[in-house]
Structure formats: structure tokens, C-alpha cells
Amino acid sequence: MTGHRFDPSKLARLNDPERLVDLDPGLLLRAAGVQEATSVLEVGAGTGLFATAFARRLPGSVVYAADVSPEMVEWMCGHLDAADLEQVTPLLSDALALPLADDAIDLVTMINVHHEFDDARAALREARRVLRPGGVLLIADWRPEPMPKGPPLEHRVAEETIREDVALAGLVDIVSHPGLPYHNLVTAAKG
């Protein structure tokens, strides 16, 4: 794993509404099978674009938007509107030490971050720790093939590798969801 990290100075890219077309939040929630989740954690939330979209589709839920970058968390705190901040809680957090209790979260999402992890399996074990029994992990990340957008090919991770990482982290019911134009989409559950 290359451990390539997104450059926070390019955070405007993270707010591109086209991202919500390529990775429709409603489609992601349907794939995860958690239309009524009351607690969501987005690991690697960046500017909170997806965390906010999930919150709007899950009224009454608590959504944590965790990112390792202080710049990203500061951006969320200063730019998300008051209504969004009532439901979305920005968290400064490394994926290996999430500041949440065991068995607390219905859905953990990792959107375009699997390829950034230095130790993906450790990050997935930590995600498993915070998932409640029966909770779902959703990973969407760039397919390793030529396309007009996304990180360099050498930074991308094959679907088979993602599935193996998820299995070795102790998650079960691993499902690949085909059909996205640029991404692999994998879900799994905490048994």
C-alpha cells in the first residue's frame, strides 16, 4: 500500500458536486442496506460532502465526519451551515484511533480513502471495533484502470485486495456492488 494522502491544499475538489453523481449517496445507502441508520461515521470525510449528504438522507441520525487533517476539520467547522452542524459532527481523528465507543455505529463509510491508508487492515479493524453487531462497512474507492479522473493508477487498489483486507479485518458478508462508473463498491458487516 502506498499510503498516498490527499493534499489538503486541493480541498476545493472535494466539494465538486459531480462527486455526488459518480457516487450517489442514495445508491450508497441502498447498497449498504441501512436506509434507517441512526449513527454514521465517515472515515476520511475531507470537507464533509458525503457526511452531509448522508445526514440529509437520514433525518434524526448522528453523523460523524472524521478526518486526519486539521485543515479539513477546520474547513467543515467553518463552512458547513448551522443546520448541517446540528447533525454532522466533525472529528479530528486518525483512522487507527477513532474517538468513538465500541459497538456504537450503524454504518461506517470510507469513500476514496482505502488507497490512502498506510495500514488498511488496521484501519478496517478499528472500523469494525466501532461498528455495532450487524453494522455495515461501506468502501468506495477508485478502480485501478485508466479513466479521466482520480488519483494516479499506482495509488489505486484492486477490488480483490479490498475484499481480502476486509475479510482479514474480521468482517463478514462481503459483497461487491458493480455498476459504478469509476469505483469499486464493497460492503461488509460486523458479525
How many CB atoms are located within 10 Å of the residue 84 CB? Answer: 18
pTM above 0.75, yes or no: yes
**CA 36/CA 29 separation, integer angstroms:** 9
136 bridge partner residues: 107, 189
- For residue 15, the one-letter residue type is N
Closest CA to 91 of 117, 121, 130, 135: 130
Write down the domain spans for the chain: 8-189
CATH number for the domain running over 8-189: 3.40.50.150
Residue-wise pLDDT tens digits, 27-81: 999 999 987 899 999 999 999 999 999 999 999 999 999 999 999 999 999 999 8
- For residue 155, the one-letter residue type is H
Residue-wise pLDDT tens digits, 80-110: 988 889 999 999 999 999 999 999 999 999 9
| pLDDT mean over 15-27 | 91
**CA 108/CA 120 separation, integer angstroms:** 14
Q: Give the CA distances from residue 37 to residues 21, 32, 58, 96, 184, in Å, rounded to whole numbers and listed in that order.
A: 22, 10, 7, 23, 22
